[in-house]
A and B are shown apart, each in its own frame.
Chain A
Amino acid sequence: MSMKSNEREEILRMSGVDPTKCMKCGKCSASCPAYDEFDIKPHQFASYIARGDMYELMQSKTIWNCLGCFACVERCPRDVRPGKLIDGVRQAAVRRRGGTHLQPEDIPSRIDPDTPQQLLMSVLRRERK
């Protein structure tokens, strides 16, 4: 089994999503509040994964700019839920050596006296292992 298909299987297993069910209606991308900040759009995730183009997804800006708002998860009429695929790719990225996005030492300069603990916890949980 190639590396490419290993990663694909890992992401499908983590997300529990069948990307072949996507009918390309675009409702996810139309709903996405961070659409303009994505290089690979939500509706494209299913096709990239179905094709096995995992490297492009793991290098994308999308996995870090996804707000995790569940709008696409809520509105997907085919239960593909692109947010789960985006989360799966981000997880796969942070589980690899060097995949941590924001390092703990990057954080002190980004906090202010009102930064809620919730934000610190969430960022560390989302972006590193």
Chain B
Amino acid sequence: MVYSYYPGCTLKTKAKDLDMYARKSAEALGITLEEIPEWQCCGGVYPQAQDEIATKLSSVRTLNSAKEAGHDLVTVCSACHHVLKRVNDDMANNEYIRTRANNYMELEEPYAGETKILHYLELLRDVVGFDELKKKVVNPLTGKKIAAYYGCLLLRPSGVMGMDDPENPSILEDFIKALGATPVVYPFRNECCGGYVTMQDPSLAQKKSNKVLGSAEAQGAEMVITACPLCMYNLKHNGTEHDLPVVYFTELLAEALGVK
């Protein structure tokens, strides 16, 4: 199985673990991830305004590269996944944006949302299958109580993201179970960590991150997992009142598969 792979800027710098363990685990599972050549940063935030065209083009280039390679596109970072998925939806369903983006791109064949995007978790659930994943685990994380932190960007808006039930998701808990650990369900697992606001007002991000970690801790979690480098940053730096370890989900996967 060969997939186009989009790491994104943070996975090349501050979130190298998220990238490295994704690649090692994919290899162990027999999946080939081919990094898109000369990919550009997605911009981090989906430009919501209808008339924002130029800011969507780097995503269109990535999506079109995967289309030309003839592969589905795999993402890992929650923010990259969110931006690429929503721009792809625009290119498929919004004629105003599609026409203008293609006018800029001047591709031989206009891009109209043909690429299928899979978050790495969807790859595990829908392609590998959690039952098959379970069979490949060599170091089961038995007895470990792990809280899945979804945050915002993987789930919402669910009409476009389509990953899981936005209010009561299960993909990360099913992932944790496949690795042999025990998922901890807690109320703030899909509430915001404070996001971008930490740059202008860290005190606001502290309130939000402390609520998330406090909620996980109250339910008995020993560890929190995330797919997002900004959630990781906020929970670690702004979750000032708690000591819960926070790790990337790919690191946990690599550990269970014996490739860490």
- Which of B152, B156, B229 is the one whose CB lies under 8 Å from A118? B229
Contacts A116-B10, A117-B14, A122-B230 given; does A69 touch B48 at CB 8 Å: no
A91: Cβ under 8 A from any B Cβ: yes
A16: Cβ under 8 A from any B Cβ: yes
- Which of B156, B196, B237 is the one whose CB lies under 8 Å from A126? B196
Q: Which of A84-104 contact B (CB under 8 A)?
A: 84, 87-88, 91, 101-102
Among B102-110, B128-136, B197-205, which stretch is in contact with chain A?
A: B197-205
Contacts A71-B156, A118-B79 given; does A101 touch B200 at CB 8 Å: yes
Tell me, in angstroms, the Cα distance from A102 to B43 when the chains sit together: 17
B147-186 interface code vs A (CB 8 A; 1 in, 0 out): 0000011011110000000100000000000000000000
Chain A residues touching B, range? 35 or more
Task: Please state if B237 and A13 are interface contacts (CB–CB under 8 Å).
Answer: no
Task: Please state if B14 and A115 are interface contacts (CB–CB under 8 Å).
Answer: yes
Task: Please state if B230 and A71 are interface contacts (CB–CB under 8 Å).
Answer: no
Task: Please state if B196 and A73 are interface contacts (CB–CB under 8 Å).
Answer: no
Task: Please state if B15 and A67 are interface contacts (CB–CB under 8 Å).
Answer: no
Q: Which residue of A lies closest to B151 (CB)?
A: A69
- Which of B77, B152, B199 is the one whose CB lies under 8 Å from A69? B152
State how many angstroms separate the Cβ of B75 from the closest Cβ of chain A. Answer: 13
Contacts A69-B156, A102-B200, A122-B79 given; does A33 touch B191 at CB 8 Å: yes
Chain A residues closer than 8 Å to B55, beta-carbon distance: 125
B50: Cβ under 8 A from any A Cβ: yes
Task: Please state if B156 and A114 are interface contacts (CB–CB under 8 Å).
Answer: no
B49: Cβ under 8 A from any A Cβ: yes
Q: Which residue of B lies closest to A111 (CB)?
A: B199
State how many angstroms separate the Cβ of B7 from the closest Cβ of chain A. Answer: 12
Tell me, in angstroms, the Cα distance from A108 to B2 when the chains sit together: 41
Tell me, in angstroms, the Cα distance from A117 to B18 when the chains sit together: 14
Task: Please state if B156 and A121 are interface contacts (CB–CB under 8 Å).
Answer: no
Tell me, in angstroms, the Cα distance from A121 to B208 when the chains sit together: 21
Task: Please state if B48 and A87 are interface contacts (CB–CB under 8 Å).
Answer: yes
Contacts A70-B157, A73-B156 given; does A118 touch B49 at CB 8 Å: no
Tell me, in angstroms, the Cα distance from A117 to B43 when the chains sit together: 10
Tell me, in angstroms, the Cα distance from A107 to B198 when the chains sit together: 12
Task: Please state if B45 and A116 are interface contacts (CB–CB under 8 Å).
Answer: no
| Chain B residue total in the interface (Cβ 8 A) | 44
Contacts A33-B208, A70-B152 given; does A119 touch B48 at CB 8 Å: no
Tell me, in angstroms, the Cα distance from A47 to B198 when the chains sit together: 29
Contacts A37-B204, A71-B152, A73-B156 given; does A122 touch B196 at CB 8 Å: yes
B194: Cβ under 8 A from any A Cβ: yes
Q: Which residue of B lies closest to A70 (CB)?
A: B156
Tell me, in angstroms, the Cα distance from A106 to B39 when the chains sit together: 29
Contacts A33-B192, A71-B192, A117-B13 given; does A65 touch B157 at CB 8 Å: no
A112: Cβ under 8 A from any B Cβ: yes
- Which of B45, B155, B194 is the one whose CB lies under 8 Å from A122? B45
Given contacts A34-B192, A68-B152, A69-B191, 17 further A-B contacts (CB under 8 A): A14-B52, A64-B197, A64-B200, A67-B195, A68-B45, A70-B153, A71-B192, A74-B157, A91-B49, A110-B200, A114-B233, A115-B14, A116-B233, A117-B41, A118-B9, A121-B44, A122-B195
Q: List 5 A-B contacts (CB under 8 A).
A: A13-B50, A37-B201, A69-B192, A116-B14, A116-B15
B residues at A contact (CB < 8 Å): 8-10, 13-15, 41, 43-45, 47-52, 55, 77, 79, 152-153, 155-158, 166, 191-192, 194-201, 204, 208, 229-230, 232-233, 236-237
